[in-house]
């Protein structure tokens, strides 16, 4: 019989994420990108929200260093090194924002949307109140989300007239498949997710992260009120941000 530490949680996460990308609020967000043209103002707002998440992740890693059990720290250290939330990714976001007229000082001073704050608060809650293991699903979401979301986002922005100089963050690093990183993440998940209860908490976190991210995207688009919609905009927007 397979022991707890050898539980192949990464395979479960992969199946769950595939389902979320087809049937949930995340799927509706992806469909919106595929069916609509994203205006520069909306693209800029989304970049700002993602940069806030990157800045928050730096602080989250500091909290993790205090609350993660010492025996698990090596696995957590690797798992927390999510490419889409890394400092280097934030730097590329800032470069894209600069090309849209927002300096790095401006981006830091701007208040994130409530939906972004909610996603950050959820991650902090999982780390500090759910025995740390709940954060695994959140991190796994940000490992895989850019691979399907960033290409759709980029194509939508191009149709909306966003210049190529402002799309660099969506085509570099986080959106590229890295087999060695995938293997590393799977190994870390097996070390951290030891029991069926752990797997349940982490899977729930994956679902919630996807739903909260969908509401973030929806709110960023709606805030700008400058979109170039396809004929199905009304029905698409009603669906974004709602859990299926």
Q: What's the CATH code of the domain at 177?
A: 1.20.910.10
pTM as predicted: 0.85
Identify the band that residue 6 occupies on the pLDDT scale cut at 50, 70 and 90: low
The DSSP result for 109-177, as a single string, is HSPPPHHHHHHHHHHHHHHHHSTTTTHHHHHHHHHHHHHHHHHHHHHHHHHTT--GGG-GGGTSGGGS-
Asked whether residue 148 carries a pLDDT value surpassing 60, the answer given is: yes
Position 130 scores a pLDDT of 80
Residue 17, in any domain of the structure:
no
Residue 126, in any domain of the structure:
yes
How do residues 223-243 score in pLDDT, each as one tens digit? 886 444 444 444 444 444 444
Integer CA distances (angstroms), 168 to 24, 36, 97, 174, 178, in order: 28, 20, 10, 11, 18
Domain that holds residue 127: 39-208
Residue 73, in any domain of the structure:
yes
What mean pLDDT is reported for the chain? 86
Identify the band that residue 4 occupies on the pLDDT scale cut at 50, 70 and 90: very low
Identify the band that residue 175 occupies on the pLDDT scale cut at 50, 70 and 90: low
Residue 230, in any domain of the structure:
no
Tokens of 207: 């679902």
Please tell me the total count of domains within the chain. Answer: 1
Position 107 scores a pLDDT of 56
Identify the band that residue 109 occupies on the pLDDT scale cut at 50, 70 and 90: low
């Amino acid at each position: 019989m397979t022991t707890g530490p050898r539980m192949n949680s990464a395979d479960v996460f992969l199946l769950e994420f595939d389902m979320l990308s087809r049937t949930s609020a995340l799927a509706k967000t992806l469909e919106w990108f595929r069916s609509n043209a994203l205006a520069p103002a909306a693209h800029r707002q989304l970049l700002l929200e993602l940069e806030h998440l990157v800045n928050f992740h730096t602080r989250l890693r500091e909290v993790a260093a205090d609350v993660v059990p010492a025996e698990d720290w090596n696995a957590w250290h690797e798992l927390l090194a999510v490419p889409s939330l890394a400092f280097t990714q934030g730097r590329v976001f800032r470069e894209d924002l600069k090309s849209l007229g927002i300096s790095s000082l401006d981006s830091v001073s701007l208040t994130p949307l409530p939906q972004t704050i909610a996603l950050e608060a959820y991650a902090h809650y999982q780390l500090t109140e759910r025995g740390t293991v709940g954060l695994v699903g959140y991190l796994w979401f940000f490992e895989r989300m850019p691979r399907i979301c960033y290409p759709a986002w980029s194509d939508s922005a191009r149709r909306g007239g966003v210049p190529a100089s402002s799309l660099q963050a969506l085509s570099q690093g986080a959106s590229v498949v890295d087999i060695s990183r995938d293997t590393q993440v799977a190994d870390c998940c097996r070390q951290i997710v030891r029991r069926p209860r752990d797997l349940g908490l982490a899977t729930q976190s994956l679902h919630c992260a996807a739903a909260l991210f969908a509401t973030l995207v929806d709110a960023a688009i709606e805030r700008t009120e400058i979109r170039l919609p396809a004929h199905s905009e009304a029905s698409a927007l009603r669906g974004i941000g709602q859990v299926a």
